[in-house]
Amino acid sequence: MQVRPRDEVFTGIEVALHELSQPLTVLQCRLELGLMDGSGKATHEAVEHALLECRRVNAAVSTMRELVRQGLEQTGRG
């Protein structure tokens, strides 16, 4: 695997962090809507959508983890 330049690593982390905000906002909103409605169907739909957003968050975290690993390799700390 090719190691990225340090500035590119931090730019990648910044982008990944930004991408985390959207699924986290959607996740919070869907769960709050499910609680406000209170019906079993609304709760079920909220949980289904929350799981989709959790997958998006996990993908972004995996990207950040890899970028941090590359950054540590560049500084000799990995």
Q: Which domain holds residue 48?
A: 6-74
Does residue 32 sit within a domain? yes
Whether the model clears a pTM of 0.85, i.e. scores above it, the answer is no
pLDDT score of 59 = 86
Euclidean distance between the first and final Cα of the chain, in Å? 14
CA 52 to chain centre: 11
Does residue 20 sit within a domain? yes
Does residue 49 sit within a domain? yes
Does residue 1 sit within a domain? no
pLDDT score of 4 = 64
pLDDT tens profile 21-73? 888 888 888 888 878 887 888 888 888 888 888 888 888 888 888 888 888 88
Q: If 0-12 CB within 10 Å is exposed, 13-18 middle and 19+ buried, where does residue 77 land?
A: exposed
Does residue 34 sit within a domain? yes
Rounded CA-CA distance 32/38 in Å is 10
Looking at the structure of the chain, the number of domains it has is 1
Does residue 52 sit within a domain? yes
